[in-house]
C-alpha cells in the first residue's frame, strides 16, 4: 500500500538578531521606579511648628512669656530696690522720680519693685495649679475614656461633682477656713482641686476618638496589654488638646489668684502679688490711678500672652484650621 501523504513543508529558517549591550559608562544606572519621598519630614508637631513660626503673634506671645518667666526667676536683675523695706509715707502715692519709674504706693513703696517681685508669686501659683490640674485631669480623663464601662461611669460622675462647683467659690471657702495657713501652696491647692474637670473632659473625648484607630486594634491583636497601649499609643496621640487647655488654664489660675487676693481671701498682705497690689490700690483710683493701673497692666499682659499662645497652638495643631487659612 503506497503512502500518498503530501510531503511535510520545510521548516522556516530561524533568524537570530544580534544582542547588543551598551557599555556601562554610556548607560548610567538610574532608579526609575524609586518612590519619591519628600525631603522634609512631616508629622503633627513639625507641621504645627512650621505654621507657628510664620505667625507674628506667636513670637509676640512667646517673647512676653519668656520675659515674664525671666523676671520671675531673676528679679534682682531688674530692680535693686527692696519692695517692702524702703517704704516711706513721705512718698505716699508719689509721682515717678529718678530710680522709681512708676511712682509709689499709698504706703510709699516702689510700684515698679513690687510688680517685679510679685511676678514670681503669680507665676508660681499658676504653675502649681497647672501641675495639679494636669495630673488629675490626665488620670481621670485617660482611665475614663480608655477603659469605659463602670470605670468611665464612676470617674465621670466624680468629675461632674467637682465640675458643678465653681472653683473660685470653692477656693474662697477653703482659703477662709485655712486663713491661718495662707501661702502659695495653700492657694494653689485650693484652686487646683476644683479646676481639673475641664482637662479631664477634653482628654476623655479625645481618647474616645483615638482608641478606635487601626494601630490600637493592631496592638490589641498582637497581645499588648491595655495599659501599655494607653501609655504608648493612645495617650501620646491624644495629648494635643490638653496642651492647649493647659495654657488657657495657666492664665485662668493667675487670674484666680489675683481675684482671691483682691477679695481679701488670697495671699496675705505681706506677700507680694499683683492681686494684693490691686486690692490695696482700689480705693486710690481717683487720687493715684497709677497704683492700680500698673499691676493690672502686668496681670493683663501676662494673661493675654498665655491666651494668645494657646489659641495659636490650637489652630496650628488642627489641620483643618491650617487648610482654611
Q: Can you tell me the mean pLDDT for 213-221? A: 87
| Residue 106 neighbours by CB distance under 10 Å | 18
Q: How far is CA 138 from the centre of its chain?
A: 14
Q: Can you tell me the mean pLDDT for 194-204? A: 90
* 195 pLDDT higher than 60: yes
Cβ contacts of 281 within 8 Å, gap of 6 or more:
105, 106, 288, 291, 292, 295
**Is residue 224 included in any domain, yes or no?**
yes
**Is residue 22 included in any domain, yes or no?**
no
What CATH number is associated with residue 262? 1.10.3720.10
pLDDT of 137 reads 92
Q: How confident is the model at residue 301 (pLDDT cuts 50, 70, 90)?
A: very high
pLDDT of 101 reads 86
pLDDT of 33 reads 47
pLDDT of 139 reads 92
pLDDT of 14 reads 53
- The span from the first CA to the last CA of the chain, in angstroms, equals 98
Lowest-confidence region among 6-10, 35-39, 147-151: 35-39
Give the pLDDT confidence of 73-120 residue by residue, as tens digits. Answer: 998 899 888 777 677 888 887 888 888 888 888 888 888 988 998 898
Distance CA 103, CA 286 (A): 15
pLDDT of 213 reads 85
Q: How confident is the model at residue 181 (pLDDT cuts 50, 70, 90)?
A: confident
* 58 pLDDT higher than 80: yes
**Is residue 26 included in any domain, yes or no?**
no
**Is residue 25 included in any domain, yes or no?**
no
- Structurally, the chain folds into a number of domains equal to 1
pLDDT of 59 reads 92
**Is residue 35 included in any domain, yes or no?**
no
**Is residue 245 included in any domain, yes or no?**
yes
Crossing angle of helices 290-316 and 44-52, in 10° steps, is 130
Q: Between 21 and 112, where is the model more confident?
A: 112
Give residue 242's domain range.
44-86+102-324
**Is residue 50 included in any domain, yes or no?**
yes
Q: How confident is the model at residue 70 (pLDDT cuts 50, 70, 90)?
A: very high
Contact between 248 and 202 (Cβ < 8 Å): no
| Residue 241 neighbours by CB distance under 10 Å | 16
Grid coordinates 476644683 are at which residue? 194
Among the listed residues 304, 299, 288, 287, the one whose alpha carbon sits nearest the alpha carbon of residue 261: 299
Distance CA 200, CA 143 (A): 10
pLDDT of 32 reads 47
Q: Between 39 and 317, where is the model more confident?
A: 317
Give the pLDDT confidence of 275-292 residue by residue, as tens digits. Answer: 888 888 887 778 888 888
**Is residue 32 included in any domain, yes or no?**
no
Amino acid at each position: 500500500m503506497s503512502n500518498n501523504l503530501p510531503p511535510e513543508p520545510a521548516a522556516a529558517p530561524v533568524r537570530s538578531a544580534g544582542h547588543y549591550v551598551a557599555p556601562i559608562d554610556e548607560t548610567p544606572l538610574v532608579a526609575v521606579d524609586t518612590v519619591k519621598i519628600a525631603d522634609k519630614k512631616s508629622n503633627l508637631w513639625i507641621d504645627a511648628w512650621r505654621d507657628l513660626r510664620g505667625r507674628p503673634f506667636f513670637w509676640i506671645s512667646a517673647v512676653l512669656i519668656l520675659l515674664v518667666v525671666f523676671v520671675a526667676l531673676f528679679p534682682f536683675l531688674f530692680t535693686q530696690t527692696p519692695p517692702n523695706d524702703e517704704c516711706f509715707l513721705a512718698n505716699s502715692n508719689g509721682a515717678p522720680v529718678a530710680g522709681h519709674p512708676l511712682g509709689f504706693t499709698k504706703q510709699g513703696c516702689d510700684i515698679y519693685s513690687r510688680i517685679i517681685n510679685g511676678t514670681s508669686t503669680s507665676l508660681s501659683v499658676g504653675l502649681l495649679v497647672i501641675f495639679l490640674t494636669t495630673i488629675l485631669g490626665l488620670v481621670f480623663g485617660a482611665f475614663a475614656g480608655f477603659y469605659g464601662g463602670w470605670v468611665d461611669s464612676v470617674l465621670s460622675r466624680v468629675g461632674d461633682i467637682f465640675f458643678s462647683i465653681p472653683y473660685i467659690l470653692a477656693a474662697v471657702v477653703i482659703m477662709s477656713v485655712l486663713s491661718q495657713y495662707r501661702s502659695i501652696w495653700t492657694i494653689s491647692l485650693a484652686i487646683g482641686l476644683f479646676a481639673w474637670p475641664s482637662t479631664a473632659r477634653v482628654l476623655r473625648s479625645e481618647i474616645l476618638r483615638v482608641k478606635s484607630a487601626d494601630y490600637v486594634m493592631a496592638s490589641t491583636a498582637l497581645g499588648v496589654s491595655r495599659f501599655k497601649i494607653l501609655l504608648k499609643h493612645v495617650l501620646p496621640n491624644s495629648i494635643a488638646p490638653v496642651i492647649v487647655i493647659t495654657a488657657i488654664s495657666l492664665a485662668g489660675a493667675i487670674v484666680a489668684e489675683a481675684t482671691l487676693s483682691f477679695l481679701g481671701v488670697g495671699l496675705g498682705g505681706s506677700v507680694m502679688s499683683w492681686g494684693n497690689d490691686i486690692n490695696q490700690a482700689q480705693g486710690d483710683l481717683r487720687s493715684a490711678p497709677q497704683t492700680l493701673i500698673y499691676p493690672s497692666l502686668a496681670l493683663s499682659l501676662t494673661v493675654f500672652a498665655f491666651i494668645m499662645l494657646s489659641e495659636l497652638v490650637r489652630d496650628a495643631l488642627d489641620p483643618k484650621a491650617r487648610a482654611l487659612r
